Amino acid sequence: MEAKVQEILKIFEEINTIPRKSKNEQAISNWLVAWAKDNNFSVHQDETLNVYITIPATSGRENDPIVILQGHMDMVCEKTPDSPHDFSKDSIKHLVDGEWLHADNTTLGADNGIAIAIAMVLATDDSLSRPPLELLFTVDEETGLNGAVNIQQEHLKGKILLNLDSEDEGVFTIGCAGGRDVEIALELEKDSTATEARCFKIAVDGLKGGHSGVDIHEHRANANVFLGRMLDYLCKEAPSLQMGSIHGGSAHNAIPRNSYCTVSVIDDEREALINTFEQAALKLEEAAKTYDPDIAITLTELDESSSLYTKESSQRVVALLNTLPHGILQMSVDIENLVETSTNFATMEMKGDSLHLLCSQRSSVAQQLDWAVAKVESAAKLCGAPYTTGQGYPGWEPNVNSSILATCKKVYTELFQKEPHVEAIHAGLECGLIGAKFKDMDMISFGPTIKNPHSPEEKLHLPSVEKIWDFTKALLQAIN
């Protein structure tokens, strides 16, 4: 591994000592500003905490087009249930397994910390021939692209943008889906009557989870969905069932890996609940085994009862969980194997006596995104639950005649003696919002190979980092 790649990985490890969960990017943003000042680069930090850094060209390249290198600071913070990691203060531990770099039962944050590290080394390597650069590091990408929403246009002069947030080396991304979230707030009524009851905790765990855009086509099980299915089985055989607390999922763009709820039944229905659970668990585990063979659905009897909601409220919860859509809604008719429209039943969280459910919709077609959102809104209406629909973010329409695409294909083919793959993706990228702000921006997205982003199984392919380094060096040489 060449020295510059080792430098990239060293910087990435330093980045991973700084907590950078979405909406907690003050420290990483300040660190980048300090780095720029230490290197005598012009830098601006806006109120959103986005960072803009201007890098002068190397000798003889001063009049070449300005190139923007772009990535985001924040990361999805996921860990295994047994991990003691505290994302608010602990460093991400780097572990090497052959050609792969991963973390210790947490997300690695290569999405998108590796982009920052690559850009920093490109900016400080004076042995390279490069045009003028602008480094654009945004915040809060993972929870709604909010940094990109608030980009200040006056701080960017370049018209060529290299987004370093793709996750398959050898693939150039030239388009992405737009998205919009719906949050449902179902008010629940507490049961103030005191009755003798048997209390249980139901948990769904062991799922792969993953990115709700990149991995949605793999049909991975959704813990929230499977919990709803289990509750439906139980309510039919134990009609006295009442809900207590409920929780599931972690982020709008992550397929839920685990969920749980507490329930109670009258003493006479205890055996019916246990027997029904055992039979239903076998059915659900069978349904998930192809894509999530490690799924675990458990029932634990509790010694103490918890606050309960009325049977009517409990039935509304179960009905809503089983009405909300999840997964692929439509495949593209224009691009083979591209998911056009999908929805992710992302999170469940109690806030007081209100159950908040978040569903995240994506589509590369605006009217189909409206349809996906309407499906979720309709489910909320049927259950009498108010909802809030976000403004969302635009998609990025592919431009097959892009000048930077042509240059990238030429450079890649000459360097590696094979042609790259060009695609549009179902995930959201900041390029959609950037393109909406800068109508004449010529954009492309690429990056090293990252597997299982947004899950504790996230890992970075080290040889692909070296290839991206070599390619980006050659690309900056070729842009003139």
Round to the nearest angstrom and report the end-to-end CA distance of the chain. 29
Instruction: Please report the sign of the dihedral spanned by the C-alpha atoms of residue 412, residue 167, residue 107, residue 432.
Output: positive
Does 334 participate in catalysis according to the annotation? no
Give the burial class of 235: count Cβ atoms within 10 A of its Cβ; 0-12 exposed, 13-18 middle, 19 or more buried. buried
All residues at 6 or more sequence positions from 114 whose CB lies less than 8 Å from its CB, including other chains: 8, 12, 164, 447, 448, 450, 460, 465
Measured in degrees and rounded to the nearest 5, phi and psi for residue 309 equal: -105, 155
Complete DSSP assignment for 421-480: EEEEESS--HHHHHHHH-TT-EEEE----EESTTSTT-EEEHHHHHHHHHHHHHHHHH--
- H helix intervals, 169-310: 223-237, 270-288
Name the catalytic one among 25, 141, 165, 215. Answer: 141
Three-state DSSP state, 299: strand
CA atoms within 13 A on the CB side of 171: 13
Amino acid at 199: C
Name the catalytic one among 25, 74, 111, 165. Answer: 74
For residue 16, whether the previous peptide bond is cis, meaning omega lies within 30 degrees of 0, is no
Does 336 participate in catalysis according to the annotation? no
**Number of other CB atoms surrounding residue 475 within 10 Å:** 21
Question: Catalytic residue numbers?
Answer: 74, 141
